[in-house]
Amino acid sequence: MGTAVRTASADERRRRVRRDGRGRGASAAAATALVCALGMTAVPEAAQAAPGEPAPRPDPGGSGGPGGKSLEEVRSEIEGLYRKAERATDAYNLARERQKRQERAIVKIARAVVKAQKEMADLRERAGAMARAQYRGGGMPAEARLLLNGDPGDFLDGVTLARKGQQATHGLMSRLERTRVALDRYAESASKEWERLDGSRKKKASAKKQITAKLAKAQRMESRLEKKERERLRRLEEDKARASQAKWLDTGILRELGAGATATGKRAVAFASAQIGKNYVWGAVGPDTYDCSGLTQRAWAVAGRSIPRTSQEQWRLLPKVSVGNMRPGDLIIYFPDASHVGMYVGNGAMVHAPRPGRQVTVAGAGSMPILGVVRPGGV
């Protein structure tokens, strides 16, 4: 009886809920309560945002990337991998340039050797001719033949000829010795250049291996992110860059800047700006893809100035100017190891090739840690 009453009461309550139209609302309220009790772990991220508002970014300590890492941790790790790859790229480019120089030096030495060998063959032929002439004279020294000559006039003429002969012989022997020494020197130089060339090739191969490994790891990490996470990763990078730029501008640096570009600087800026949108590819110098220093080198080559290939060599060899005296066309060197470079284009902005997976773009000149500024066009 009691059970029947309770059942009827429950049935009546369900009927009243349906009649009142509150069944769906009650179910939603129960579901909401359940989700709150569970800490909302079962609700997709998009469901947390109000209609028309972007989904909130994950807490730095929360899960948002591969291996349970937060998206910020993933961003930091990917950035570190690309930075290491960029350092290795600089080493690769430098080794490649040295290899080219060493190959040219070896070719130059080889040409000098061929020339010296021809000269040596000619000198030996002349020395042989002299020896044969002496043999035909009975092997008697010229001085002895002069003493036996009874005609005073012929004697004086003979003395002059003998002296000339001696000078020619001495000159010939001296040239033979100098040529022999030169050939020995060329052989030694060639051996050293081959050793240097071998060292450059090994360094280049080692750097390429590092680059390939770092890039592959970074690309694997990015590929494991969903499309929306990759987009948020890009936004995180941009937010970090904007924060650094704002901090840089807060120093009042723009009040110090203002010097106009030179004619060559304008040409360099125009070329670099025209490359915006082209892909970053390590080791590339154009015309369709660039790495950071490949872009700056090519821009200044078009402007009429030859500058070093790598950002580290650009920093080491080009004239330095203070950041406050920076003008369009100057190169901004970034990070303590000088592993990145961009071109200042004015108004606190620069053009650069950021990293693999990105394109040549405009960014804040202070969006990364500045090591210093160099001026390819001269001070």
Query: Catalytic positions, please?
Result: 292, 340, 352
DSSP H or E stretch at residue 327: none
| DSSP one-letter code for 21 | T
Three-state secondary structure of 218-281: HHHHHHCCCHHHHHHHHHHHHHHHHHHHHHHHCCCHHHHCCCCCCHHHHHHHHHHHHCCCCEEC
- By C-alpha distance, which of 286, 292, 287, 341 is closest to 317? 341
8 Å CB contact between 172 and 130: yes
The partner residues of 373 in beta bridges, in order of sequence, read 321, 332
Spatial CB neighbours of 257, under 8 Å, sequence gap ≥ 6: 324, 326, 327, 348
287: preceding bond cis by omega (within 30 degrees) = yes
Cα–Cα distances in Å, from 125 out to 122, 136, 172, 350, 354?
A: 5, 17, 11, 67, 64
